[in-house]
Structure 1
Amino acid sequence: MELRQMRYLVTIADEGNIGRAATLLYVSQPALSYALKSLEKEFGVRLFERHAGGVIETAAGRDIVAEARRLLDQADRVTAAAERHLLGRTGVLRVGFEASGAGELTTRARAEFARRHPGVRVEPKRFDWGEEATALRDGRVDVAFVWLPNDLTGLYAEIVHREPRVVGLPSGHSLAGRDGVSVLDVNDEPLMWTERAPRVWVDWWAVNPRPDGSTPRWGPTNNNVEEMLEQVAEGAAVCFAPLSMARYYARPDLSWVLLTDVEPLQVALAWVDGSGNPLVRGFAQVVRELAADDR
């Protein structure tokens, strides 16, 4: 039994026709038919039933084809691991982040990693409202700065950054310009929120419940940072955000005031647990060094 034969089985099952499968596999139809008969003889079971339009899996064939798919997927992962090490210091590293990420640490880490690995192209990928963890599991990014709380299932994560939270207000608001306010000072203000994030994420950002046991006054929803800030600027609501967002999204019609009595945002550097990508390990080392220098 060889991987080549497993690919034959999967392709025949997918096409339901030996002739079409042979075309996709770049082998002759007689050669593919012979290979199938040889496998059936080796396994001692019939894998496909023939009919006028082609073939269909038997009960045994369905089980064996399913295992063949898993075997081929594993073989592809083995090959990919080898290719990552073959690339060494070349390739592409996709770094996910949300809004202002981990503040200046995000930009500094990408720049320092690029300096140490001149053959690697670093691609920043921005996501909204907790999506960066899902993007890691989906394979859209290799490593990400994840705002907590978040679902870290299947991920390895280490906290690399903390920062205070602030409230965003329209510039003419009565609290604008203060050095700091309590979350209870804005208890009666409608608060921006999103339906795109899990409820636990929304409640943490909204400080729900509040220290006095009350619940926020829910305001308009949004799908991204830009929509949120537009509605805050026009006076429709206030928003809670990390301090770095106040710096990265400064605009004259907004005022940012420190929230003095809420826990800070924690940002984790995360990647798929067990990832053998050497570029991810190299990036993580850069982030650790820079984060240690910031302490």
Structure 2
Amino acid sequence: MGLGKFRYVLAVADFGSFRRAAGALGVRQSSVSRAVQQFEDELGVSLFERRTSGAHPTDAGRRLLYEARPALEQLELACKIAAAAGRAELGIIRVGILTSLAGGFLREMLRYYAMRHPDILIDVQDGGPDEHVSAIRKRSLDIAFVTGNRSVTDCEIALLWEERSYIAIPKDHMLAGKHRLDWPDLRNERFIVSRFAPGPEIHEQIFRRAAVHGTYPEVLYKAVGQETLMNLVGLGQGITLVSAAWINVKLPDLVLRPLIDPADIVSFSAVWSHQNDNPALRRFISVAHTLAGRVRRGASDWAPEAKGLTRLGSEPSVAGRMPGPLP
């Protein structure tokens, strides 16, 4: 009992004639008659009274049409939704981050993707790199943005952009008068970092970079999120290390100063599973690569539309490898 045969039944009922139904469907009248007859034989009832004036539904036919037509319409709608999801016109993309969305490349990419695909929900989740990679493997995340570009087992990784590191300090701090900073300037300072992501990673970066200059600063963990931590800096409880995205955030009694050493430029990469067949993910990867100026031509996971996109802005600090010049 095929769906195609039932479409013929509906057409006959709608047009009141096998001849007119065949004309509307673009098939021969004999094909419609044969399909309807087979459908009736499978059901064991007659659905139409054949008269010279046309075809008229029997009681059984009217009952079938009443019950089945809404189901068919629902099925057609489901097929359209599935097709739209396959073209990444509907759906959800789950994104893991560990940096601020206040500004920079990541914010612009999410904004652009949302503008181009308004029917795709972007679910953004905070977390650390290990947490994000685990979630990608479990398919609870589609893609994550992490620092560095080290290889990740069972995952794809692509370097997209870089950001200069900044030191957040109280505005009345003695270092606030300097326009640029280097690690020797910070040897006597107390750092504070969040216990939550990206705090542990920032803690490791502070120790690694300070050790290069022979200093080992005091670093205290705070059981607060990053925004509260920044307010604690403004209140004079210490200083901290942040990415360039935070320069777009205005917080009371706090200023940001760039670190001048090229080694304090941090790279950011996208990580995803090659086994993830979410169409929205494929489109997201395409947009990310294109906006970063890294379109890979001929690869099956880049959507064709990405080839026509333009790079965001003209400053390499927004998209691409090199951050903008120091202020």
Provide TM-score, normalisation by structure 2: 0.56
CA-CA distance at 1:92 after TM superposition: 1.0
Contact 1:128 1:224 in 2 (8 A): no
Distance 2:200 2:235 in 1: 26
Instruction: Report the counterpart of residue 278 of structure 1 in structure 2.
Output: 279
**Residues in 2 aligned to 1:266 and 1:281: alpha-carbon distance in whole angstroms:** 22
Please list, as runs of the form range in 1=range in 2, the aligned pairs for 1:39-118 lying within 5 A after superposition. 87-89=86-88, 90-101=90-101, 103-118=103-118
Greater alpha carbon shift after TM alignment, 260-269 vs 119-128? 119-128
1:207-227 Cα shifts (integer Å, max 9, x gaps): 355222332222343442023
Matched position secondary structure for 2:251: coil
Range with greater deviation from structure 2 (162-171 or 195-204): 195-204
Supply the distance in 2 between the matched residues of 1:172 and 1:129 (Cα, whole angstroms). 34
Query: Pairwise mapping of residues 1-295 of structure 1 onto structure 2 (< 5 A)?
Result: 87-89=86-88, 90-101=90-101, 103-127=103-127, 131-148=131-148, 152-196=152-196, 202-247=203-248, 249-261=249-261, 262-292=263-293, 293=311, 294-295=319-320
How far apart are the structure 1 equivalents of 2:243 and 2:207?
Answer: 12
Deviation at 1:257, TM superposition (A): 0.5
Matched AA of 1:106: L
Q: CA deviation at 1:271?
A: 1.1
CA distance in 1, matches of 2:144, 2:101: 9
Q: Which amino acid aligns with 1:243?
A: A
Q: CA-to-partner distance for each residue in 1:5-52, whole Å, 9 max, x for gaps?
A: xxxxxxxxxxxxxxxxxxxxxxxxxxxxxxxxxxxxxxxxxxxxxxxx
What is the CA distance between 1:155 and its match in structure 2?
Answer: 2.5
Report the 3-state secondary structure (helix = DSSP H, G, I; strand = E; otherwise coil) of the residue aligned with 2:174.
coil
Tell me how far apart the structure 2 counterparts of residues 222 and 158 of structure 1 sit (CA, whole Å).
32
Alignment partners' CA distance in 2, 1:193 and 1:154: 31
Residues 82-105 of structure 1 show CA distances to partners (whole Å, capped at 9, x for unaligned) of: x79963322111222223159432
1: CA distance, partners of 2:100 / 2:138: 22
Distance 1:200 1:152, change over 3 A: farther
8 Å Cα contact 2:193-2:203 kept in structure 1: yes
1:149 and 1:224 map into 2 onto residues whose CA distance is: 25
Query: What secondary structure is seen at the aligned counterpart in 2 of 1:99?
Result: coil
Secondary structure in 1 matching 2:146: strand
* Separation of aligned partners in 2, 1:220 and 1:199: 9
- DSSP 3-state at the match of 2:204: helix
Q: Is the 8 A contact 1:94 1:122 kept in 2?
A: yes
Structure 2: which 5+ runs fail to align? Answer: 1-81, 294-310, 312-318, 321-327
Shift of the 135–229 alpha-carbon distance from structure 1 to 2, 3 Å rule, reads: farther
Structure 1 residue 116 displacement after superposition: 3.4
Q: Distance in 2 between matches of 1:281 and 1:143?
A: 10
Q: Does the Cα contact within 8 Å between 1:102 and 1:145 map onto a contact in 2?
A: no
Q: Distance in 2 between matches of 1:194 and 1:116?
A: 35
Contact 1:98 1:132 survives alignment (8 Å):
no
Unaligned runs of 5+ in 1: 1-82
Kindly report the root-mean-square deviation, in angstroms, between the aligned alpha carbons of the 2 structures.
Answer: 3.0
- Paired residue secondary structure (2:292): helix
**SS state at 1:270 partner:** strand
Structure-2 separation of matches of 1:151 and 1:133: 11
Inter-partner Cα distance in structure 2 for 1:84 and 1:202? 47
- SS across alignment from 1:244: helix
Which residue of the partner structure matches residue 78 of structure 1?
none
TM-score, normalised to structure 1, is: 0.62
% of aligned pairs identical? 22
Is the 2:165–2:241 Cα contact (8 Å) retained in structure 1? yes
